[in-house]
A and B are shown apart, each in its own frame.
Chain A
Amino acid sequence: MKEQDQERKKIISVSNLSKVYDMGVIKVHALRSIDMNINEGEFTAIMGHSGSGKSTLLNIFGCLDVPTEGKYWLDGADVSHLNKNQLARMRNKKIGFVFQTYNLLPRTSALENVELPLLYNPEIRRKERKERAMNTLELVGLTDWSEHFPNQLSGGQQQRVAIARALVNDPVIMLADEPTGNLDTRTSFEVMEIFQELNGRGITIALVTHETDISKFAARNILFRDGRISKETIIKNIKNAREELEKLPPEDEL
């Protein structure tokens, strides 16, 4: 689907990136000198065993954590040594993050959950904020659910609200850490369908998963092992989530 285009903009670029958790007695090497790039429009799946450093990498990508060593360029800017407030700015403007556990604010409507990142952007006024949140909810097919609280939504719907929240600030990249980890097969596929659709619109996505089923929806698979990239595969026949959904047995037979 995507040929290697040298002209394409690098959204993420890391070189010699390491992360060491100093636990006093022992030092945990979560990432060991990683070099990798993610280009604009790519859909990357990061795979690997538990503890291989996938989340650590994604958190650094998402400016939620800082590397111990190495360089990290996000959208052309060096973000390796930013302070707390600058990192917050980056997260607010450039990053959309989707968590395994949705992390929606309880007793807060779907719409207001989606608005949240824009609330921390002083340039965006109330009217624009509401509009953008509503449009993004429409994108994930939840227009009719905008006034519902998270506890009135299914897991899949909650994750779609979370995806809308990650999209609303128009990020340069969407990062998702096991977004289907808490969902059944059908709902997982529905979520992947949304990711594929968004990617089709040109949105860059990096997703962590340990299910091979899920990684096959992404064009590029990177396998981690002990904090290192052990293998990178370009998937030839990418699975289409909508088709896979149709192949599943009808719901009433389950």
Chain B
Amino acid sequence: MNLLNLFVIALRSLNKNKIRSLLTMLGIIIGVASVIAMLAIGQGSRDSIENQISGLGSNVIMVFPGATFRGGVATAAGSAQSLEMDDLEAIRVNCPSVKYLSPVARAGGQIIAGSNNWNSSIRGVYNEYLDIRNIEVESGSRFAETDEKRASKVCIIGQTVAENLFDEYTDPVGEKIRINKIPFTVIGLLKEKGQGGMGEDQDDIIYAPFSTVQRRMRGDRQNIQQIYISAVSEEKIELASEEIDELLRTRKNISKYEDPPFNIRTQTEIVEMFTSTSNTMMVLLAGIASISLIVGGIGIMNIMLVSVTERTREIGLRMAVGARGKDILRQFLLEAILLSLLGGLIGAAFGILSSKLFVAIMNWPVTVSSYSVVLAFSFAFIIGVFFGWYPAGKAARLIPMDALRYE
């Protein structure tokens, strides 16, 4: 019997017992849907982490003063005052694998322009910071050489800040704004960056010269909250980090075996840290989902055994008119495979739908990858073959006369 005919027979037999087929498929439906949804959530959070980390910039190394940085949590970072402007300059001079570097001073506050006001965060940085993080200026300019020396009251603002302070007819460049009551001149407008990996608005930001924020807003002359550094190339990230570590230890008289009062994090380390946790999560979730797939497979086997028993006379008759064991095996195997594949199809639809729902309702970062759909499908197929084989084989081994006489 050819495949098309077998296919028709299998479909019909499933159609005759619609409810039963549906209930049988339920296990597979739930299994496949959860495999896809789980992988989508896992992949989504991984993507968002990657996005965010790549949003840090290229070949980034960060140096924090003070306490250690363990398990992704900075314990009172910056509390020990250990990074100074001299360290910064020393890195620039002595570390050949370092390309750009910039201190970062953070502040927040109320910004007023005319009758509009807005709250945003302000970062004091060098022009180099913009290079490290691939931040581009859309109109206006970056800081002038002298701005840093003089702690000029100039700033570059993000799109969100501009939208909230100025109407659409006003070019923000050249306008005056007040940040925490200090008057600033807007010298540049940043190119739109959109949402970050965690859904935060990357355009709600103001950059000012480092010295301006450090001295005028934070009232600090020496201690640096954070240094942003980029290595000359991706391969040199590790080397650059070692150079910095060695230099800072020498400067601060700390041996290799002591915990340093500063902390160096490279982009690669951060990526690894996050992906390893999200990997464990994904394996766990996929494991749970596979169990429900297997339970679904057992359901299929159960119902196929019932079906073979119910249709013993039919099997006998088919054999009497010339069906070989092989034909019967194929018929029932195909039915089992069809059950699981159909379940897989419905499950995939549910899985994708619920993933989209996660995005829409809970604003979770979810990515449905085609490989997860393929994976879930092949899994469903294998389960159909595996759990369909025994009942189908049982049917194929029936003796025609006995099957015909079966009551």
List of A residues within 8 angstroms of B106 by Cβ: none
Q: Is the CB of B324 within 8 A of A119?
A: no
List of A residues within 8 angstroms of B321 by Cβ: 91-92, 97, 116-117, 120, 165, 169
List of A residues within 8 angstroms of B400 by Cβ: 64
CB of A242 within 8 Å of the partner chain: no
List of A residues within 8 angstroms of B320 by Cβ: 62, 64, 91, 97, 103
Q: Is the CB of A103 within 8 A of B404?
A: yes
Expressed in whole angstroms, the minimum distance between the Cβ of B28 and any Cβ of chain A is 25
Q: Choose one: A59, A65, A89, A99; the contact of B322 (CB below 8 Å).
A: A89
Chain B residues numbered 287-322 whose CB sits less than 8 Å from any CB in chain A: 313-314, 316-322
Interface of B is mostly: helix
CB of B147 within 8 Å of the partner chain: no
Given A88-B319, A97-B320, is A119 in contact with B404 using a C-beta cutoff of 8 Å? no
Q: Is the CB of B2 within 8 A of A122?
A: yes
Q: Is the CB of B323 within 8 A of A88?
A: yes
Q: Could you tell me the distance between the alpha carbons of A50 and B401 in the complex, rounded to whole angstroms? A: 18
Q: Could you tell me the distance between the alpha carbons of A65 and B404 in the complex, rounded to whole angstroms? A: 12
Q: Is the CB of A105 within 8 A of B322?
A: no
Expressed in whole angstroms, the minimum distance between the Cβ of B119 and any Cβ of chain A is 72
CB of A107 within 8 Å of the partner chain: yes
Q: Is the CB of A117 within 8 A of B322?
A: yes
Expressed in whole angstroms, the minimum distance between the Cβ of B230 and any Cβ of chain A is 70
Expressed in whole angstroms, the minimum distance between the Cβ of B62 and any Cβ of chain A is 71
Q: Choose one: B16, B313, B316, B323; the contact of A120 (CB below 8 Å).
A: B323
Q: Is the CB of A120 within 8 A of B314?
A: no
CB of B47 within 8 Å of the partner chain: no
CB of B1 within 8 Å of the partner chain: yes
Q: Is the CB of B322 within 8 A of A93?
A: yes
Q: Is the CB of B314 within 8 A of A105?
A: yes
CB of A121 within 8 Å of the partner chain: yes
Q: Is the CB of B16 within 8 A of A107?
A: yes
Chain A residues numbered 84-131 whose CB sits less than 8 Å from any CB in chain B: 84-85, 88-89, 91-93, 97, 99, 103, 105-107, 116-117, 119-122
Q: Could you tell me the distance between the alpha carbons of A176 and B301 in the complex, rounded to whole angstroms? A: 37
The interface bits of chain B over 324-358 (1 if a CB of A lies within 8 angstroms of the residue's CB, else 0) are: 11110000000000000000000000000000000
Chain A residues numbered 116-152 whose CB sits less than 8 Å from any CB in chain B: 116-117, 119-122
The interface bits of chain B over 384-407 (1 if a CB of A lies within 8 angstroms of the residue's CB, else 0) are: 000000000000000011001000
Q: Could you tell me the distance between the alpha carbons of A116 and B320 in the complex, rounded to whole angstroms? A: 10
Given A105-B314, A105-B317, is A99 in contact with B404 using a C-beta cutoff of 8 Å? yes
List of B residues within 8 angstroms of A121 by Cβ: 322
How many residues on the A side are at the interface (Cβ–Cβ under 8 A)? 25
The interface bits of chain B over 105-148 (1 if a CB of A lies within 8 angstroms of the residue's CB, else 0) are: 00000000000000000000000000000000000000000000
Expressed in whole angstroms, the minimum distance between the Cβ of B328 and any Cβ of chain A is 10
List of A residues within 8 angstroms of B325 by Cβ: 84-85, 88
List of A residues within 8 angstroms of B2 by Cβ: 122
Q: Could you tell me the distance between the alpha carbons of A60 and B402 in the complex, rounded to whole angstroms? A: 14
Q: Is the CB of B324 within 8 A of A59?
A: no
CB of B170 within 8 Å of the partner chain: no
The interface bits of chain B over 2-16 (1 if a CB of A lies within 8 angstroms of the residue's CB, else 0) are: 100100000000001
List of A residues within 8 angstroms of B326 by Cβ: 85
List of B residues within 8 angstroms of A119 by Cβ: 1, 5
Q: Is the CB of B314 within 8 A of A65?
A: no
Q: Is the CB of B401 within 8 A of A103?
A: no
Q: Could you tell me the distance between the alpha carbons of A157 and B298 in the complex, rounded to whole angstroms? A: 42
Expressed in whole angstroms, the minimum distance between the Cβ of B315 and any Cβ of chain A is 11
Q: Could you tell me the distance between the alpha carbons of A85 and B327 in the complex, rounded to whole angstroms? A: 10
Q: Is the CB of A91 within 8 A of B322?
A: yes
Expressed in whole angstroms, the minimum distance between the Cβ of A190 and any Cβ of chain B is 23
Q: Name A166's closest neighbour in chain B (CB-CB).
A: B321
List of A residues within 8 angstroms of B404 by Cβ: 64, 99, 103
Expressed in whole angstroms, the minimum distance between the Cβ of B34 and any Cβ of chain A is 35
Expressed in whole angstroms, the minimum distance between the Cβ of B314 and any Cβ of chain A is 6
Q: Is the CB of B401 within 8 A of A120?
A: no
Q: Could you tell me the distance between the alpha carbons of A120 and B1 in the complex, rounded to whole angstroms? A: 5
List of A residues within 8 angstroms of B323 by Cβ: 88, 120
Expressed in whole angstroms, the minimum distance between the Cβ of B350 and any Cβ of chain A is 30
Q: Is the CB of A116 within 8 A of B318?
A: yes
Q: Choose one: B1, B317, B322, B324; the contact of A103 (CB below 8 Å).
A: B317
Q: Could you tell me the distance between the alpha carbons of A132 and B137 in the complex, rounded to whole angstroms? A: 81
Known: A84-B324, A88-B325. 17 other contacts (CB 8 A): A59-B401, A64-B401, A88-B324, A89-B322, A91-B321, A92-B321, A92-B322, A97-B320, A103-B313, A103-B320, A116-B317, A116-B318, A116-B321, A119-B1, A119-B5, A120-B324, A122-B1
Q: 28 A-B residue contacts at CB 8 Å?
A: A59-B401, A62-B320, A65-B401, A84-B324, A84-B325, A85-B324, A88-B322, A88-B325, A89-B322, A89-B324, A91-B319, A92-B321, A97-B320, A103-B320, A103-B404, A105-B314, A107-B16, A116-B317, A116-B318, A117-B321, A119-B5, A120-B318, A120-B321, A120-B327, A122-B1, A165-B321, A169-B321, A169-B322
B residues neighboring A (CB under 8 Å) = 1-2, 5, 16, 313-314, 316-327, 400-401, 404
**In the A-B complex, the 5 residue pairs with the closest CB atoms:** A92-B322, A120-B322, A117-B321, A88-B324, A103-B317
